[in-house]
Structure 1
Amino acid sequence: MFGLVFSRRFSMAHRLTAGLSEKCALPHGHNETVTVRLTATQPQRLDGAANMVEPFERAKARWHGWIDDAVDHAFQVNAADPLLGWFRQHEPTRAARLLVTPGDPTTEMLACLMMTKISAFLAADGGVLRCASIRIEETPTNSVTFDGDPAAFLPEGLPADAWWHRADASINDLGAAA
């Protein structure tokens, strides 16, 4: 089966507060690369004319726009992080640039949330493609890959209408909770 594979690089900052890495409890950043592999939901033979599953430009347009405009240079924070409240109180206009995750914003969590988000984009674009796998390179030597159903790995009890389920440019739900 054919797979369409493309990557996007972005800068980010985060901090991990659950206590498993004291070094990562302080805000710090990474230049990351996310690579997705898309496959056809209904694979077919090449047609002898255009001979493609889907034009790359169409397949990646919404995803790249979201990475470039919403995810790049966002600060990834745990929904329970006290910094979230500080931003909402002291810098509410910057709160829109917070990518809020259920639990620590680890690369594993980001992979599940991003795979869910691109799946929402693909469904909204007609469902011709599906995300078969995602890879996030956190550093040149550390990556997380994921394939499967993100819902089976995300914490239980999360809202079905959270930002990662919607085919919009959101990276948090702070506007709804304000």
Structure 2
Amino acid sequence: MFELVFRRRFAMAHRLLTDGTAQCAVPHGHTETVTVRLRAVRPERLDGAANMVEPFARAKARWHHWIDGHVDHALQLGEADPLLGWFRAAEPERLPRLLVTPGDPTTELLCGLFAAKLGAFLAADGGRLACVGVEIEETPTNTVRFEGDPYDILPRRHGWWSRADLSINAWDAAR
């Protein structure tokens, strides 16, 4: 069975408050690479003409637009992080650049959230393709790979990750 695989690099910053180490509790950044794998929901024989599952441009357009325009250079914070209150009071214009997660924004959680968001995009685009895997390389030596139904592992089902819009938090749902 064919898989469509594509990658995107993005810069991010986050902090992990429940980690227990002071090093990760200080905001810090990574340049990450996300790799996604898609399969046809109803695989068919190649047609003898175009001979493709789906044009790459169509399969990756919305995903790349979201990564490049909304995830890249976003600050990832858990929904209980006190920095959210600071941004609300001092710099509310920056709220759309905050990727807010249920709990600490770990790479494991992001894999699940990204799989759910990509699934919402694919469903809104007709449901011809399904996400079968997401991999995020956090550093050259640390990678997390997720396969399966993201709703089996996410702390909760609903949030920006379950919508086919371009949002990354509750404040920018209109985007």
Report the AA paired with residue 116 of structure 1: A
Q: How does 1:37-116 map to 2 (within 5 A)?
A: 37-116=37-116
Paired AA for residue 145 in structure 1? R
Identity %: 66
- In structure 2, distance between residues paired with 1:132 and 1:33: 17
Residues of 1 paired with 2:9 and 2:19: CA distance? 28
Structure 1 pair 126–46 and aligned structure 2 pair: CA distance change class (3 A): same
Structure 1: gaps (5+ residues) = none
Letter paired with 1:29:
G
Distance 1:149 1:77 in 2: 23
Paired with 2:154 and 2:54, the residues of 1 have a C-alpha distance of 30
Q: Does 1:14 align with 2:14?
A: yes
SS in 1 for 2:92: coil
Within a 5 Å distance, the mapping from 1:100-139 to structure 2 comes to 100-139=100-139
Name the SS of the counterpart of 1:34 in structure 2: strand
Listed as ranges, the gaps of 5+ residues in structure 2 are none
Q: Moved runs in structure 1, 4+ residues, more than 2 A?
A: 19-22
In the alignment, structure 1 residue 168 sits paired with structure 2 residue 159? no
The answer on whether the counterparts of 2:151 and 2:157 sit within 8 Å (CA) in structure 1 is: no
Distance 2:28 2:47 in 1: 49
Compute the displacement of 1:21 (Å).
2.9
Matched, 1:141 2:134: no
Q: How many angstroms apart in 2 are the aligned matches of 1:174 and 1:105?
A: 17
| Separation of aligned partners in 2, 1:140 and 1:166 | 31
Q: Any idea what the Cα deviations from partners look like across 1:56-104, whole Å, max 9, x if unmatched?
A: 0000000000000000000000000000110011100001100000000
| Per-residue Cα deviation, 1:105-144 (whole angstroms, up to 9, x for no partner) | 0000000000000000000000000000010000011100
Aligned-pair Cα RMSD in Å: 1.1
Deviation of 1:174 after TM superposition, in Å, equals: 2.7
- Alpha-carbon distance, 1:154 to partner: 1.0
